[in-house]
Structure 1
Amino acid sequence: MDERNVRILQAIAELGTGSPDEISEYTDIPKSTVHYRLTKLRESGVVTDDLFDVDLEEFGLEITVITEVIAEYEEQYHEEVGEKLAAIEGVNQVYFTMGDTDFVVIAHLSGREMVHRLISDYEAIDEVVRTSSQFVVETVKNESYPLNDFELETLVETVADDE
């Protein structure tokens, strides 16, 4: 994995396409190089399918941290604090929740230094009162396409109910 591969994968995420023409234009990497590198990324298992999903562990982001965040309550605090949490590097998902926890934050990181920086970034948010982080030991299920978790009839009923 080198800088060009990272730039190609980042372009795919930004553009929403794996088109070598568009990636080449976006990154200034020659189209033939983009095509070659995409093939190599598939062969190595970093890119897992034709939709250019990335195996984060193969990429080097093998640590998943799930953090519960307690914040000071103020009017509309969930928007302000949620945006601050979402802006932290490595944070992939932020959920405002009901109950004892205000937010659940999921981050994918490469090592101890990134984990330390993540925790420091949480602590730097004035409204954050307390955090509790857990490390994922093993991923049992990670469905990229949530519709795959439902039967066709259930999805059809859901759509019909909305009409």
Structure 2
Amino acid sequence: MDERNIRILQAVADLGTGSPDEISEYTDIPKSTVHYRLTKLREDGIVTDDLFDVDLEKLGLEITVISEVIAEYEEQYHDEVGTKLAAIEGVNQVYFTMGDTDFVVIAHLSDREMVQRLISDYERIDEVVRTSSQFVVETVKDEPHPLNDFELETLVEATTDSD
């Protein structure tokens, strides 16, 4: 995995397309190179389908950290703290939650150094009171397309009920 592959994968994520033309224009990498590398990424199992889902473990981001973050309550604090958490490198998902935990944060990282940096970045946010982080030992299910978790009839019923 080199810088060009990473730039191509970032372009796919930013643009939401695997079009070699659009990726080439976005990255200034020649279209033929983009096409070749996308094919190679598929063959290597890094890109898992035509929707360009990425196998994070094969990319080297094999440590998944799930953190519960408790923050000081202030009016609209969830917007400010949530934005700060989302800006931390490696953080992929931030959820503002109800209950004892204010935020659940999911990060995909490559090594212990990145984990230490993540925790330090949490501590730098003034409003963060406490964190509790867990490492994922084994992923049992990771469905990138939530619609795949429902039967067609259930989705039809749910969308019909909301009309």
TM class by smaller structure: over 0.9
Correspondences of 1:77-92 after superposition (within 5 Å): 77-92=77-92
- 2:38 maps to a residue whose letter is L
Correspondences of 1:54-93 after superposition (within 5 Å): 54-93=54-93
CA-CA distance at 1:123 after TM superposition: 0.1
> Whole-Å Cα distance in 1 between the matches of residues 28 and 70 of structure 2?
44
Aligned to 1:37, the other structure's residue is in SS state helix
CA-CA distance at 1:129 after TM superposition: 0.4
Aligned to 2:98, the other structure's residue is in SS state coil
- 1:159 maps to a residue whose letter is T
Counterpart position of 1:117: 117
Identity %: 87
Counterpart position of 2:133: 133
Which deviations, in whole Å up to 9, do the C-alpha atoms of 1:83-116 show, x marking residues without a partner? Answer: 1111111111111111111110000001111101
CA-CA distance at 1:151 after TM superposition: 1.1
TM (norm. structure 2) is 0.98
- 1:66 maps to a residue whose letter is I
Unpaired runs of at least 5, structure 1: none
Counterpart position of 1:47: 47
> Whole-Å Cα distance in 2 between the matches of residues 69 and 83 of structure 1?
13
Which deviations, in whole Å up to 9, do the C-alpha atoms of 1:131-151 show, x marking residues without a partner? Answer: 000000000000011011111
Matched, 1:35 2:35: yes
Which deviations, in whole Å up to 9, do the C-alpha atoms of 1:27-85 show, x marking residues without a partner? Answer: 11111111111111111110100111100001010000000001111111111111111
> Whole-Å Cα distance in 1 between the matches of residues 123 and 104 of structure 2?
15
Matched, 1:19 2:22: no
Aligned to 1:8, the other structure's residue is in SS state helix
- 1:67 maps to a residue whose letter is S
> Whole-Å Cα distance in 2 between the matches of residues 131 and 51 of structure 1?
34
TM (norm. structure 1) is 0.98
Aligned to 2:54, the other structure's residue is in SS state coil
> Whole-Å Cα distance in 2 between the matches of residues 25 and 82 of structure 1?
33
Aligned to 1:34, the other structure's residue is in SS state helix
Unpaired runs of at least 5, structure 2: none
> Whole-Å Cα distance in 1 between the matches of residues 15 and 78 of structure 2?
29
CA-CA distance at 1:153 after TM superposition: 1.1
